[in-house]
Structure 1
Amino acid sequence: MTLSHEAGLGGLIAAMILIGLGQGGMTAVMVVFIGDQVPESKPTVVCIKDKLVVVDRKVTIQFVFNALFWLGNIAAIAELPTTLMEKHIDFWPAFLMPTCVMGFCVAALLICKKSLIKLPPQGNVLTEAFQVLLIACRSNFNLSAADPMNTAHNRKITWTSSFIHEIRRGLTACRIMICFTIFWLCYNQAGNNFVSQASQMRSGGISNDTLQVFNPIAVVIIVPMIQYLQNVLRRHKIAFGPVLRMTIAFMFTGVALAYAAGLQQLVYSRGPCFSHPLACSAALESGSSTSGEKQPNDISVWLQIPLYAILAIGETFGLVALYEYSFSEAPVNMKSLVQAIGQLTVALAAALGIALGPVSKDPYVIIMYGCLAGIIGVMGVLFWMVFRKYDKEYEKQEVLSATNLSTESESNDKDKSPG
């Protein structure tokens, strides 16, 4: 369909740039802002409904990001009404509805701003961080060379040893985020090509992109189940750290892609066009002669539902753990920067996805699915082997932070006591 004013390409490019800036910036800032609503505090015991429970900041942050991901996927179910409006009315109401929703969100944020925790502006530590990294690079990437306790250098140091420790933790979070480039590549390819796969199957009258709504529906069901599982494991003192959860995410995403490869083989095994769905003369001859629609291969599109459910398990484990870990490990004054690096990996994965264009078409799609499943499976094993030690350090760091807060609190209480 040709747009009447011939501004389609320019409008598309402008929309992509604006959406990219808005989504990337909003996600980076939102993760930090949401995490900041849980202030630093030591674990405390409170009474809730005649039960004594321990309020732990780490557990609270985990719950908050689970809730954030859950609410985001409730919003994603809006794919269903927007696709129906686009099909039965036009594109303009499909775009108008999310625009109105964004307006309501901005209004709600402005109304509730007085009840939100807003941290005061803090000094810019990027210059000091750059100096630390520069010293480390000159010392064979050894951060200890920039530690004030190290007397081997003659530089005038303006930072503390704790800042070096924060930089080290932040770099670990960035390394993990970079590894997630492969996850985002596979996830993006899954989302894009599953729609194309659905168009090659019998849909029973629904549009090929409507089935995507089963992914957020599955997430909405799965998130409470995973939260309950985490609570049970915590009560039994079974470690279930973020690195382990991210490794599970890699594996489930690989299983989803392997399922997609098998399903694509089933599509290719059915007529009328076999390995070239919708591209043979038999498809047009057996399709609707009045509307010009082509007949897809003889296999039900509902076989895709397990695929979206498996993918939902992977993204729930992986993305929540990634948000939790990157927020907790980033230096205090560099949390937004670390989250921005995370969004950069999403853009890098999208750029890599362009290179897969030549194999994202029939009859090579099954090869692409199989290769991506193998790559992310191997990546999951390597990821666990390299980063599994950081789960123990993550737990130790939380205990250390709680101890430091407790010590500071006792010191303040002594200072305030008379005499």
Structure 2
Amino acid sequence: MTNSTVLHSDTILSYNGISAPTKHPHDEQIIHDSDNEKSSDYKEDSIKNIDVDQHQLQPTSTDFATLRKVSDNVPVLTCVLIVLVEAAERFAYYGAKAPIHNYIQQPMPTDSVTGSTVHPGETAGALGLGQQAATGLGDFYTFWCYFTPLIGAIFGDTYGRYRTVWVSTGLYITGLIILTLTSIPPSLATGKAGPLAGLIVFQIISGLGTGGIKSQISVILAEQTNSSAAYVRTESTGERVIVDPNVTVQRLMNWFYWSINVGSLAFVVTPNVEKYHSFWLSYLVPTIVFLFIPVVLLILRHRLKRLPPRSSVILEAFRVMRLASFTGWRKGSSDASKWDVAKPTYYEQRQIAKPKAITWDDTFVYEVRRALKACTVFLGFIPFYIAGNQKDNSSSLSATMRQDGTPNDLLTVINPIFILAFIPFLDLVLYPFLRSRGIKFGPIARMTTGFFTSVLGLAYLACIQWYVYKISPCGHFATECTKADEKADLSLWVLAPVYALSAMGESFAAITAYEYTLTKAPVKMKSFITAIFLLQNAFGSAISIAFLPVSKDPYMIWLYGGTAIGYFVVVVVFYLAFRKLDKDNDVDNAVGKEDKRVN
């Protein structure tokens, strides 16, 4: 058995002028259960259906420049089951979240006891706390759900991802049951306090469950790949291609995000249930769907490839950064050499005593440095999510427009439907076409494209808001016109492009960010780095909460328009600051990536 570093040494040497590092001593062990049971269809250090005589394990720099890149084979059934877990969790998340805005903002419709509409032209509601309360609690829930992945990631990297998903599933189910029971008619009849308390308890408990699941599933999916390093394969047609793990991860994340938006189709179901039956049934539906997750997890138990957790890995990463910061930075040396003081070889070459805190090898230092750069890139997603939160607030705008029998929050289904159509186009048409022509469309370029389309959607939303103010009988206080004959004579479907442009933005930017986390993070810290990316959504929601004083009539034009202008400036700065990272992306990703094959 041989361990082959996939890139030639001259290629590795081109990475900031450093020599090829050795692999982390802990990163090759693979286990399948918490009790070390072995999967029946997987053996460590072997890959199914590999004919080594037809593989050149080390692509040359010429190969990288001339050969087409393709994805590797993956265990299809296992991957399908994993994305089903994500789809069910997202169905529960969006299915419960979709009715919440109306549940909080709108009052109980006339002659209704369930919150559903009785008379034509009405909007479903229950608590009647107003737009600001609905927006504030909505932004808090989004913030909490994208802050808790940090907690889940620490548990996942320390105690195991599979175990963390199980605990999170239990928390999530508990929250959904509480929300359902506190929204039944007897509870609503007691006043606002009980249902509101139940809603807040649901947000806190289910948020913990979301964080534990969200930080693990994409990482578990990426761990099912056969190879972590590129190699040359000869196809049946005689064509030589590079099987690139980066392309494999890109494809997996495309379909992972596709499954998220399958779950998002809950937006079709629960708003209609809310409008025509009740809020409690609209919350019971996602609860029932979520109950499929424990069944799938049981099936997956003996199928998953899993790296054993290391309780010290996050502490080690912070120790690396501390050494580089407080020792390397004081020397006033270049950026590359500032990290040298955290490497064991730095002390071995100088024959001086190594600090006891250093329990890692050189590769881990490179991986931490690479992950830190990725975390800097993720800062560009804060305005991306601020813009997304403003789009979510457009349900209040749609409630002021002519509905023609359409629930005002049903428009949100356009976003996942467009993504479900657009992702296959990217994965099967656009990206393969660009790779076959040798056109590089790197992660920074893809993120920038997604950011720009998001800006366009927000600018369009500002224009629609301006027109509604112009034609509404209530003028710049359009939300005060609640009766059907008082609403602006403009179909709410004119807001459809907002959701379509937002979907394009997510397909380019958000999917790429998942890919970026998994290719840049140290092997044992993938959940943690994923959580750092998700945390940007929490930051965006926190900043959106600061916008609450102007998240009402007559300031909505300035809110949407001002955010769009500011975001455009950020997009330009983002691209100028990070565009060079695309150039060295492949070499950067290769550091610390080794492959094991039977020779």
Question: What is the TM-score when the length of structure 1 is the normalising length?
Answer: 0.88
Question: Who is 2:343 aligned against?
Answer: 147
Report the Cα distance in structure 2 between the residues aligned to 1:401 and 1:394, rounded to whole angstroms.
Answer: 14
Report the Cα distance in structure 2 between the residues aligned to 1:183 and 1:257, rounded to whole angstroms.
Answer: 10
1:86-105 aligned at under 5 Å gives the runs 86-105=274-293
1:7-26 aligned at under 5 Å gives the runs 7-26=194-213
| 2:343 aligned partner, one-letter code | D
Question: Who is 1:177 aligned against?
Answer: 378
Shift of 1:145: 2.9
Aligned residue for 1:358, secondary structure, equals helix
1:18-417 aligned at under 5 Å gives the runs 18-39=205-226, 40-45=228-233, 47=235, 54-122=242-310, 124-139=312-327, 140=329, 142-151=338-347, 155-156=354-355, 157-191=358-392, 193-227=393-427, 228-279=429-480, 283=481, 287=483, 293=484, 295-398=486-589, 404-405=594-595, 409=597, 413=599
Question: Who is 1:290 aligned against?
Answer: none
What per-residue deviation string (whole Å, max 9, x for no partner) do you get for residues 227-254 of structure 1? 2211100111111111111111111111
| 1:298 aligned partner, one-letter code | D
Q: How many residues align?
A: 397
Report the Cα distance in structure 2 between the residues aligned to 1:172 and 1:348, rounded to whole angstroms.
Answer: 19
Aligned residue for 2:251, secondary structure, equals helix
Report the Cα distance in structure 1 between the residues aligned to 2:313 and 2:258, rounded to whole angstroms.
Answer: 33
Aligned residue for 2:344, secondary structure, equals coil
What per-residue deviation string (whole Å, max 9, x for no partner) do you get for residues 114-161 of structure 1? 222222334622232222111122133832332334358854243222
| 1:22 aligned partner, one-letter code | G
Please tell me whether the aligned partners of residues 247 and 383 of structure 1 are also in contact (alpha carbons under 8 angstroms).
yes
Shift of 1:226: 1.7
Aligned residue for 1:239, secondary structure, equals coil
Aligned residue for 1:336, secondary structure, equals helix
Shift of 1:399: 5.4
Distance change in 2, residues 1:374/1:385 (3 Å): same
| 1:257 aligned partner, one-letter code | L
Distance change in 2, residues 1:80/1:17 (3 Å): same
Report the Cα distance in structure 2 between the residues aligned to 1:190 and 1:53, rounded to whole angstroms.
Answer: 42
| 2:573 aligned partner, one-letter code | L
Aligned residue for 1:26, secondary structure, equals helix
Taking only aligned residues, the RMSD between alpha carbons, in angstroms, comes to: 2.3
What per-residue deviation string (whole Å, max 9, x for no partner) do you get for residues 313-346 of structure 1? 0011111100000111001111111112223222
| 2:444 aligned partner, one-letter code | V
Please tell me whether the aligned partners of residues 461 and 498 of structure 2 are also in contact (alpha carbons under 8 angstroms).
yes
Question: Who is 1:4 aligned against?
Answer: 189
- Name stretches of at least 5 consecutive residues in structure 2 with no aligned partner: 1-125, 128-187, 331-337
What per-residue deviation string (whole Å, max 9, x for no partner) do you get for residues 248-285 of structure 1? 11111111100111111111121322222142xxx57x
Report the Cα distance in structure 1 between the residues aligned to 2:300 and 2:362, rounded to whole angstroms.
Answer: 39
Question: Who is 1:416 aligned against?
Answer: none
Report the Cα distance in structure 2 between the residues aligned to 1:379 and 1:127, rounded to whole angstroms.
Answer: 33
| 2:197 aligned partner, one-letter code | G
Please tell me whether the aligned partners of residues 250 and 379 of structure 1 are also in contact (alpha carbons under 8 angstroms).
no
Please tell me whether the aligned partners of residues 125 and 334 of structure 1 are also in contact (alpha carbons under 8 angstroms).
yes
Please tell me whether the aligned partners of residues 370 and 588 of structure 2 are also in contact (alpha carbons under 8 angstroms).
no
Question: What is the TM-score when the length of structure 2 is the normalising length?
Answer: 0.63
Distance change in 2, residues 1:271/1:129 (3 Å): closer
Report the Cα distance in structure 1 between the residues aligned to 2:353 and 2:438, rounded to whole angstroms.
Answer: 47
Report the Cα distance in structure 2 between the residues aligned to 1:307 and 1:41, rounded to whole angstroms.
Answer: 40
Please tell me whether the aligned partners of residues 201 and 297 of structure 1 are also in contact (alpha carbons under 8 angstroms).
yes
What per-residue deviation string (whole Å, max 9, x for no partner) do you get for residues 6-59 of structure 1? 412221111111221122221111121111111424334264799876532211
Report the Cα distance in structure 1 between the residues aligned to 2:558 and 2:375, rounded to whole angstroms.
Answer: 31
Aligned residue for 1:388, secondary structure, equals helix
Shift of 1:179: 2.7
| 1:103 aligned partner, one-letter code | L
Distance change in 2, residues 1:46/1:295 (3 Å): farther
Please tell me whether the aligned partners of residues 25 and 340 of structure 1 are also in contact (alpha carbons under 8 angstroms).
no
Distance change in 2, residues 1:400/1:335 (3 Å): closer
After the TM superposition, which of the residue ranges 251-260 and 346-355 deviates more from structure 2? Answer: 346-355
Aligned residue for 2:440, secondary structure, equals coil
Report the Cα distance in structure 2 between the residues aligned to 1:204 and 1:275, rounded to whole angstroms.
Answer: 22
Please tell me whether the aligned partners of residues 258 and 419 of structure 2 are also in contact (alpha carbons under 8 angstroms).
yes
Percentage identity across paired residues of the two chains = 35
Report the Cα distance in structure 1 between the residues aligned to 2:340 and 2:570, rounded to whole angstroms.
Answer: 30
| 2:568 aligned partner, one-letter code | G
Shift of 1:223: 0.9
What per-residue deviation string (whole Å, max 9, x for no partner) do you get for residues 337-368 of structure 1? 11122232222221111110111111111111
Bigger helix share? 1
Please tell me whether the aligned partners of residues 24 and 343 of structure 1 are also in contact (alpha carbons under 8 angstroms).
no
